[in-house]
Amino acid sequence: MRPGCGQATALDGTMHHRQILDMALRDLPAEKAAYLSRVADNLSRDPVLDERSHLLYPVLAAAARGIEPVLEPAECATLVTGFLTSHAEGIAQTLYSAAYLRDGVRAMAPWAARLQADISSTILDQLAQGQLQLAEPKVWRFRADGRGDADFPYGDEDQEMD
């Protein structure tokens, strides 16, 4: 790949594959970007990916927006490694295609969707088996009529709203 085609290169011309992901993280909410950065840190330490990291980061960058920070980063990294191991040949064909040079995100979209599906499936399986618990969101209630202020923000959930 040559500079100017959406790929980051070092001064000596070598590819900084992680920068592909880092550029995609700029547009994400801080929590999700930090999570995916930790996932990538785990991936960078995986010797299985030494010869394949160039295949990994374009797919992870394309999938980043749809990956929820639910699993532990190390567990998510393990899933990503397994995905790459299973699909390395197809990802390589896409990465080295003319379509990727024209529009890398669009070319990687099918692989990104598959990776998101694998991660989502694992999350749903763990939820169903009781291995994973999601934190319940807090509900804050405000009343314009001024009643119930003594209990604010903690009120009786069964209290009728007029």
What does R_g of the chain's alpha carbons equal in angstroms?
Answer: 21
- The predicted pLDDT at position 21 comes to 87
- The predicted pLDDT at position 5 comes to 44
- The predicted pLDDT at position 84 comes to 94
Per-residue model confidence as pLDDT tens for the chain (162 residues) = 333 344 443 433 334 678 888 888 898 999 999 999 999 999 988 888 888 888 989 999 999 999 999 999 999 999 999 999 999 999 999 999 999 999 988 999 999 999 999 999 999 999 999 888 777 666 666 666 666 555 555 555 555 555
On the CB side of 62, CA atoms within 13 Å amount to 22
- The predicted pLDDT at position 19 comes to 86
- The predicted pLDDT at position 49 comes to 82
For residues 149 and 158, give the distance between their C-alpha atoms in angstroms, rounded to a whole number. Answer: 16
- The predicted pLDDT at position 50 comes to 81
- The predicted pLDDT at position 11 comes to 36
The pair of structure tokens assigned to 63 is: 């999938």
